[in-house]
Structure 1
Amino acid sequence: MMLSDPLPDPKLLQLFDILYNCRSVTRAAEQIGQSQPTISIWLGRLREQLNDPLFVRTPGGMAPTPRADQLIGPCREILESLRRLTAWEQCFIPMTAQRRFRLCVSDASHITLLPKILNHLRIHAPGIRLEAARIDGNTESTLESGEADLAIGFVPWLGGGMYQQVLFEQSWVCLANRDHPRLIEGMNLAQYRSEGHVHISAGTGQKLLDAGLARAGIERRIVLELPAFLGLGAIIGTTDLVATLPRHIGQTLADMHNLKIYDCPLEVEGFTVKQHWHARYHHDTGNRWLREVIYSLFRTNNSLGPVDVLS
């Protein structure tokens, strides 16, 4: 873009920035809130004005051309100037907003967090669409690109450029049938060793549980292994098996299935559940609104306040 050339429409520059990050016309359309045909038309105009294909289709998505790599820096400078000088970005109005938010969450959060978030949105932001994605090795890159808006959970490996905010602390509990014949008086370490267990392989805190078991020299008698928490409540409620899991999901399942909660009889390191987002979207009005909603729904009573820390 030469200074003497007329600048493309700001919406075309916004498309260029988003498409450069997400490498997908479909995802770009979702983020901008336009149909795919409209996005294709805009991309055609941008290609004509900048006299370059800008993006080419590859098996990995829409790859930028060398010319696009050269232009992305000046494009972002122009967009940032527009945001600062003309308040070009619209305010986020929850009641009328039409937007998709993608949350990276653990399997347990499908039971503990998403229902409460969804109920709030149905009342206060009925046009919002939620999409749940797994927390995995791609979480950091999806937050940076804007493909995901927030990650909620125990995600200690996220690198620099990420903000984080504490929601609540997690300890460990044991879940059992309320009528368990051998646990009427409670659960001690000897009983824990002797009972049959359900092992949940999902969850970012499982390494903490494994470490606690190793320190205590306990090898559980695993009767059933599940990939996630789906079905665990029904299984515990109809057998004499025991499950060891974080308190939040344990208490939720206990309330749903009339189960009994016991303090974990061995020492397992707890962890902190936080919400995480990339610095690029720290001032995005929609992202900020969603963060405030989640903080208000799940912060603990002893929280010191919404302290954001750039890691």
Structure 2
Amino acid sequence: MPSPEGLPEPKLLMLFDVLYSTGSVTRAAEQLGQSQPTISLWLGKLRQQLRDPLFVRTPGGMAPTPQAEALITPCREVLESLRRLVAWEIAFEPATAQRHFRLCVSDASHITLLPRILEYLRVQAPGVRLDVARIDGNTERALEIGEADLAIGFVPWLGGGIYQQVLFPQDWVCLASPRHPRIKRSLSARAYASEGHVLVSAGTGQKLLEAGLARAQLKRRVVLELPGFLGVGAIVQGTDLVVTLPRHIGQTLADTHGLKVFDCPVLIDGFTVKQHWHARYHQDAGNRWLRGVLLELFGARR
């Protein structure tokens, strides 16, 4: 056998295997998708490297030499190792995995996404643990170093090296109590301007809301400002205040608290909720599985 530095190329080992099996240069050329002159050239290189004729012509076809007989088993072992290397992936079995995932999410996702994610994981991957962190200025670095697996939300500032996948689009809705004394079947821009509002400062889409109101030259009369979504549904249900929210969190709160949902009468730019991950973990089996779960649960949802 030649030294490791002189090992035949994989294509020559494939020729050796096919020619041994078929005993025919013509059939070897067909199986490998090459011309007969190319196969003859490869065979010449293989003979030179292995220092043996390897195959000789007989009435029954190309017969292997004793050296070829001795080498066919190690040749096939090398080819099988190469096939395994190409297809190699650390297996991730959700039913038995003891994996720890960290998600960076918006405050709204605690209400809209996490319950469904956990419901799925408790059945399909009971050994998986989730940690949740806020989306902030450290999110990109956290994804890069593996401190976080995914970021889910509207995160337009994430830079290079970050993959992204669309989950669902968002527009804006307004919520009001079903007992609101003035808002019954619809909400006009005029009524919107005259009502008292709850302002939720959390959420990366709030800048879009403020920009839309500024374009419309409309200033809300804010009665209550909250740092997050906790308590918003109950407050709107029990008062005559209005709140403007992305549709997903708005519809979720409306379903929970029996609120009325109105399309926002002011033109506000929509946005897209995506999942984001770093290129370093693009092929990680667990990361790929989790991305698939999120796409299955929330993909194309409005």
TM-score (norm 2): 0.71
Q: Which amino acid aligns with 1:125?
A: A
- Report the equivalent of 1:270: 270
- Report the equivalent of 1:153: 153
CA–CA distance in 2 between the matches of 1:178 and 1:146? Answer: 46
Q: Which amino acid aligns with 2:247?
A: R
- Report the equivalent of 2:238: 238
Q: Are residue 300 (structure 1) and residue 300 (structure 2) matched?
A: yes
Task: Please give the per-residue CA displacement for 1:21-54, whole angstroms capped at 9, x wherever unaligned.
Answer: xxxxxxxxxxxxxxxxxxxxxxxxxxxxxxxxxx
Task: Please give the per-residue CA displacement for 1:254-282, whole angstroms capped at 9, x wherever unaligned.
Answer: 00000000000000000000000000000
Query: Which 5+ residue runs of structure 1 have no aligned equivalent?
Result: 1-83, 303-311
- Report the equivalent of 2:283: 283
Write out aligned runs for 1:42-53 (5 A).
none
CA–CA distance in 2 between the matches of 1:291 and 1:185? Answer: 40
Task: Please give the per-residue CA displacement for 1:99-124, whole angstroms capped at 9, x wherever unaligned.
Answer: 11100000000000000000000000
Q: Which amino acid aligns with 2:169?
A: E
CA–CA distance in 2 between the matches of 1:102 and 1:87? Answer: 27
Displacement of 1:90: 3.0
Alignment partner of 1:252: what SS? helix
Give the direction of change, closer, same or farther, for the CA distance of 1:301–1:91 in structure 2 (3 Å limit): same
Displacement of 1:178: 1.1
- Report the equivalent of 2:209: 209
CA–CA distance in 1 between the matches of 2:264 and 2:88? Answer: 53
CA–CA distance in 2 between the matches of 1:159 and 1:196? Answer: 38
Task: Please give the per-residue CA displacement for 1:148-170, whole angstroms capped at 9, x wherever unaligned.
Answer: 00000000000000110000000
Q: Does the 8 Å contact 2:169/2:301 carry over to 1?
A: no
Task: Please give the per-residue CA displacement for 1:240-267, whole angstroms capped at 9, x wherever unaligned.
Answer: 1000010000000000000000000000
CA–CA distance in 2 between the matches of 1:257 and 1:115? Answer: 17
- Report the equivalent of 2:94: 94
Q: Are residue 108 (structure 1) and residue 108 (structure 2) matched?
A: yes
Q: Which amino acid aligns with 2:240?
A: D
CA–CA distance in 1 between the matches of 2:287 and 2:211? Answer: 36
CA–CA distance in 2 between the matches of 1:182 and 1:209? Answer: 23
- Report the equivalent of 1:139: 139
CA–CA distance in 1 between the matches of 2:243 and 2:163? Answer: 33
Query: Which 5+ residue runs of structure 2 have no aligned equivalent?
Result: 1-83
Alignment partner of 1:127: what SS? coil
Task: Please give the per-residue CA displacement for 1:188-219, whole angstroms capped at 9, x wherever unaligned.
Answer: 01100000000000000000000000001111
CA–CA distance in 1 between the matches of 2:145 and 2:197? Answer: 41
Identity over aligned residues, as a percent? 71
- Report the equivalent of 1:66: none
* Alignment: residue pair count: 220
- Report the equivalent of 2:129: 129
Task: Please give the per-residue CA displacement for 1:45-98, whole angstroms capped at 9, x wherever unaligned.
Answer: xxxxxxxxxxxxxxxxxxxxxxxxxxxxxxxxxxxxxxx849876300000000
Alignment partner of 2:164: what SS? strand
- Report the equivalent of 2:228: 228
CA–CA distance in 1 between the matches of 2:153 and 2:235? Answer: 25
Give me the CA root mean square deviation. 1.7
- Report the equivalent of 1:178: 178
